[in-house]
Homo-oligomer: A and B are copies of this chain.
């Protein structure tokens, strides 16, 4: 749907018509009316049915033409062939929002696919906010609106949830009642013919009743808009998503290292990370996090204080914190003195604070009070095993009171069953998350800390770089018109100049004598590289010789390289060799590249050259446009980063110079949508700078692009 669609008629309709309402209990068209009535929806309800007189005690409307005009929301559950005519009739009223429950459209292909296209067309033409088809419906608990055919209704709460799977909605609905998780909005998106995750993210981000947004996604329809909307939404409130099933279609269509390494999953990872979305892999974690975010304040730092009556559970908590990158800070001297004042001699005062097996509620309370008062403590984790002396419910009351008083996040782990059930229930009602084991509690603390840390950073700004777009365009357009699929060597060098990127001095030599002469002029030592538009990976054909110290070495290398390339790359046109200035001794090779992801656009890649990228697959990725922070993080994220920082007394490479190159690649990728992939490989970096020693630019093949698009539609 277009940006900022008005979803108010969908979520807060003044009246709802159910087209396809049924008087037969158990039928979908009956359950929807029943759910509207029994959940206490206060607007007007119009069951539409040509034959019935009374459905759930409501007067039945004979046909669409008899409905009020304009109409806020119509829920459609007529058979598939009746959907398009019904939608046309509703559009004439006009109608503002429609939820199509009926299945049998895009998901079955053929005629269904065609009908869905028609649904989309009508909705867009008449600006109808249309949900589905093939969905369960939607719930807005604040308005007591349950326009679904689910059995039962979700409890009211502050979680806004949308899902691409209707069956998952049904499961979660059933499960949430048991766990006491409450929802503000609950939306089944179905086939997403019109409204999709972006529309819902946008609406929920602005929704006052929602303080955490959750979603289950199988695909993202518009990557660019998703990035834009998600970035804004995560600044308002946490957004936690499951993205299941990633395809390898994008990676298959790629030909460079960047293409092969940075697949669709890397693009999704980058999109979620750069927009601040928390990505989780399973439904249990999704709801654990939702509950934690919706009821606890954010931690102000990474320090966790663990208070336990069981040493073993304390150690497990410490292990989990350590794995999650959280700190167990030592209590301050003052706190230690306070604790010493009342804890028994055998207690462990250092974090985890083991108040030992005979701890009663008062000991828990005094300890928790002391550690929460300590400014070193950012989050408290109260761990309890049902020992003989434990006072579970009294401890819960104390935890609730202290968590409110100190306004710091408090989490609990009560291990056990029957003996701790009532104490857990008290915590849950009071909004203190309580888990069976330490690990999920620590996972929540980690996610909340990561979110709060990101939230406290200033909003990133994409740097604007000076460049001569026209000069670059001349090269790219010339190649395109010539039907060339790759730009290499001299033409590529022109692009570097247009983007103010430093390159080592390079000259083309057609003969070995010319190579020797050029080398004298450039200054020894030099590098020789085979020059041929048909040879992309020069070192695969032995087409590179480095560190050539004099004219004889240059002549010998020229002969060797050209004859070997002629032998190995049969039929390739060989222009000669490039003679290039050497980078300083000890310069490090890095790779900067991008590939155009079909969903999210240019995905920029960074890695150390040679085996680090090729063999160890040690790369980092971000979507363009990069911010300077993105570029900095990309460099520091690869495992081999210490090599750039310098080992054994080496100086670090010039990071700012590499960052500049990453930013230029991002800019270039955005400037030329017709470029499919590009790679600077190697970039040579040392302590005094970085140069781009080789460039490859791959243009999009129109036929390939069309094929990719067609494949996307089949899915």
Assembly CA distance A640 to B388 (angstroms) = 53
Chain B residue at smallest Cβ distance from A415: B171
Chain B residue at smallest Cβ distance from A165: B312
Chain B residues lying within 8 Å of A546, measured Cβ to Cβ, are none
Check A170–B416 contact: CB distance below 8 A: yes
Instruction: Give which listed residue, B167, B171, B179, B320, contacts A311 with CB less than 8 A.
Output: B167
Against B, the Cβ 8 Å flags (1 = close, 0 = not) of A568-599 are 00000000000000000000000000000000
A82 contacts B by Cβ under 8 Å = no
With A107-B346, A170-B416, A614-B647: A311-B177 Cβ-Cβ less than 8 Å: no
Chain B residue at smallest Cβ distance from A310: B167
Check B178–A313 contact: CB distance below 8 A: no
Chain B residues lying within 8 Å of A242, measured Cβ to Cβ, are 316
Check B282–A540 contact: CB distance below 8 A: no
Chain B residues lying within 8 Å of A312, measured Cβ to Cβ, are 163-165, 167-168, 216, 218, 244
* Interface pairs A-B: 10 shortest CB-CB: A165-B312, A167-B310, A171-B415, A178-B417, A174-B416, A167-B385, A171-B385, A245-B315, A244-B315, A168-B312
A616 contacts B by Cβ under 8 Å = yes
A166 contacts B by Cβ under 8 Å = yes
Assembly CA distance A313 to B169 (angstroms) = 11
Check B316–A283 contact: CB distance below 8 A: yes
Q: Which of A420, A539, A616 has the most CB of B within 10 A?
A: A616
A439 contacts B by Cβ under 8 Å = yes
Within the oligomer, what is the number of copies of this chain? Answer: 2
With A316-B282, A418-B177, A642-B615: A387-B167 Cβ-Cβ less than 8 Å: yes
With A216-B312, A310-B167: A417-B177 Cβ-Cβ less than 8 Å: yes
CB under 8 Å from chain B, chain A span 149-200: 149, 151, 163-168, 170-179
Assembly CA distance A282 to B439 (angstroms) = 7
A709 contacts B by Cβ under 8 Å = no
CB under 8 Å from chain B, chain A span 532-564: 539-540
Assembly CA distance A614 to B643 (angstroms) = 10
A609 contacts B by Cβ under 8 Å = no
Chain B residue at smallest Cβ distance from A346: B108
Chain B residues lying within 8 Å of A417, measured Cβ to Cβ, are 174-179
Q: Would you give 26 A-B contacts (Cβ < 8 Å), ordered by A?
A: A108-B345, A149-B388, A165-B310, A165-B311, A166-B310, A167-B310, A168-B313, A171-B310, A171-B313, A174-B386, A174-B416, A175-B417, A178-B418, A218-B312, A242-B316, A245-B318, A281-B320, A281-B323, A282-B320, A282-B439, A284-B437, A284-B439, A540-B648, A611-B642, A614-B647, A616-B639
Check B281–A174 contact: CB distance below 8 A: no
Check A387–B642 contact: CB distance below 8 A: no
Chain B residues lying within 8 Å of A165, measured Cβ to Cβ, are 310-313
Chain B residues lying within 8 Å of A168, measured Cβ to Cβ, are 310, 312-313, 385, 415
A167 to chain B, nearest CB (A): 3
Chain B residues lying within 8 Å of A337, measured Cβ to Cβ, are none
CB under 8 Å from chain B, chain A span 401-425: 415-420
Report A's interface with B, CB cutoff 8 A.
28, 31, 107-108, 149, 151, 163-168, 170-179, 216, 218, 242, 244-245, 281-284, 309-313, 315-316, 318-320, 323, 345-346, 357, 385-388, 415-420, 436-439, 539-540, 611, 614-616, 639-640, 642-643, 647-648
Assembly CA distance A315 to B165 (angstroms) = 10
Check A419–B151 contact: CB distance below 8 A: yes
Assembly CA distance A292 to B387 (angstroms) = 28
Assembly CA distance A418 to B152 (angstroms) = 11
A350 to chain B, nearest CB (A): 13
Chain B residues lying within 8 Å of A437, measured Cβ to Cβ, are 282-284
A698 to chain B, nearest CB (A): 21
Q: Which of A216, A281, A318, A388 has the most CB of B within 10 A?
A: A388
Check A420–B174 contact: CB distance below 8 A: yes
Chain B residue at smallest Cβ distance from A243: B319
A645 to chain B, nearest CB (A): 9
Assembly CA distance A683 to B178 (angstroms) = 61
Assembly CA distance A55 to B612 (angstroms) = 73
Assembly CA distance A282 to B436 (angstroms) = 11
Assembly CA distance A703 to B176 (angstroms) = 61
Chain B residues lying within 8 Å of A164, measured Cβ to Cβ, are 312
Check B171–A416 contact: CB distance below 8 A: yes
Chain B residue at smallest Cβ distance from A168: B312
Chain B residues lying within 8 Å of A346, measured Cβ to Cβ, are 107-108
Chain B residues lying within 8 Å of A216, measured Cβ to Cβ, are 312
A110 to chain B, nearest CB (A): 11
With A643-B611, A647-B611: A281-B175 Cβ-Cβ less than 8 Å: no
A646 to chain B, nearest CB (A): 10
Q: Which of A176, A309, A312 has the most CB of B within 10 A?
A: A312
Chain B residues lying within 8 Å of A420, measured Cβ to Cβ, are 174
Assembly CA distance A151 to B315 (angstroms) = 24
Chain B residues lying within 8 Å of A316, measured Cβ to Cβ, are 242, 244, 282-283
A133 to chain B, nearest CB (A): 14
With A165-B310, A174-B416, A647-B615: A436-B315 Cβ-Cβ less than 8 Å: no
Assembly CA distance A615 to B387 (angstroms) = 47
Check B315–A415 contact: CB distance below 8 A: no
Chain B residue at smallest Cβ distance from A540: B648
Assembly CA distance A320 to B285 (angstroms) = 14
Chain B residue at smallest Cβ distance from A640: B616
Assembly CA distance A517 to B311 (angstroms) = 68
Assembly CA distance A415 to B31 (angstroms) = 22
Chain B residues lying within 8 Å of A175, measured Cβ to Cβ, are 415-417, 436
Chain B residues lying within 8 Å of A386, measured Cβ to Cβ, are 151, 170-171, 174
